[in-house]
Amino acid sequence: MARLPIRAERKKSTAMQTSSRTRTSLFCAVLAVAIGTGGPAHAFDPNAGVTRESGPFDLFKFGFSAYKKGRKDEAVEAYKYAAEKGHPGARWALANMYAYGDGVVENDYEAFKIYDDIARQGVEPGSQDTGYFVNALLSLATYYQMGIPGSPVKANLGAARQLYFQAASAFGVPEAQYRLGRMILEGHGGANDIQQAKKWLNRARVSGHPAASAVLGNVVFEEGQVVRGLAFMTTALERSPVSDKAWIQALQERAFSLAGEADRRTAVALAQDMLAKGLN
């Protein structure tokens, strides 16, 4: 099998993966769902009704409002007090701020410790805190894949693979399914198993994950399914974000150069049909 180009793995969890402005918008959107209100916030002082002695939800709401307004120092303070009182959303928000240096000095180890605490606490089925828990699993897995320089957290591919498996199987997260499939395909953190890798990559592909479609396409192309593989890679290239286009294009162009003319035409037609029908 041809060696796959190494995908530029994102340093942090995929919940926060784009530009600063987009990341801030997504951060606010997630917290807005958790809070369920867009009401006005109060100043963080005793005369305004919110103090460090306030309840965790009030502190969390204040922190969210302060964050939206760009007062990130106040947001961090409020989240810290809310987190100390056990609010899961505040802990998640604080971990992300440390992970990205968003309003605080970037500190991956501090973020790791908070994500680890969230993951260890677990989540009840159907809980509104499920999103925080899954985000923590993905973030921890990413840290274990690379390790954190200058900290006790060393690269542990077995731990990363297990965390991706948990998020992929129990919660059906496409990014976790993709990363698990890649690790199994490459024999990282455990045995290499082509069929298992294809299973997880296909689950992510069906859910609309372009990178999974590209990698799966390359695998089945190498197995002799030329038309199907090339079609998967072609649709992946069309739908992929800019950050992934270079390596997906390299895979697709290589396959295209190796395929016969009839297979190329059939694959392109199949890819166009898939794109038109919204199929993955």
Residues 196, 223 share a domain: no
Beta-carbon count within 10 A of 88 CB = 24
Range of the domain at 110: 19-209
Residues 166, 218 share a domain: no
Residues 91, 199 share a domain: yes
Give the DSSP letter of residue 255.
Answer: H
Q: How far apart are the first and last CA of the chain?
A: 23
Residues 223, 182 share a domain: no
Residues 217, 196 share a domain: no
pLDDT in tens, 157-203: 999 999 999 999 999 999 999 999 999 999 999 999 999 999 999 99
Residue 127, domain member (yes or no): yes
The candidate with the shortest Cα–Cα distance to 171, out of 279, 15, 12, is 15
Residues 152, 244 share a domain: no
- pLDDT recorded at residue 127: 93
pLDDT in tens, 187-243: 999 999 999 999 999 999 999 999 999 999 999 999 999 999 999 999 999 999 999
Residues 222, 193 share a domain: no
Residues 178, 69 share a domain: yes
Residue 6, domain member (yes or no): no
- pLDDT recorded at residue 49: 74
- 5-19, 78-92, 129-143: segment of lowest average pLDDT: 5-19
Residues 122, 223 share a domain: no
Residue 8, domain member (yes or no): no
37: tokens are 């209100």
- pLDDT recorded at residue 3: 54
Residue 92, domain member (yes or no): yes
Of 183, 209, 235, which residue sits at a domain end?
209
83 φ, ψ (degrees, to nearest 5): -65, -40
- pLDDT recorded at residue 55: 93
The candidate with the shortest Cα–Cα distance to 276, out of 234, 221, 246, 215, is 234
Residues 230, 168 share a domain: no
Of 150, 183, 209, which residue sits at a domain end?
209
The pTM score is 0.85
Q: What is the total count of domains within the chain?
A: 2
Residues 182, 62 share a domain: yes
For residue 277, how far is the Cα from the chain centroid? 26
- 122-136, 140-154, 178-192, 204-218: segment of lowest average pLDDT: 122-136
Residues 242, 195 share a domain: no
> What is the Cβ-side half-sphere exposure of residue 153, based on CA atoms within 13 angstroms?
22
Residue 126, domain member (yes or no): yes
Reported confidence tier of residue 77, pLDDT bands at 50, 70, 90: very high
Residue linked to tokens 């002695």:
53
Calculate helix-pair angle for 226-239, 242-258, nearest 10 degrees: 160
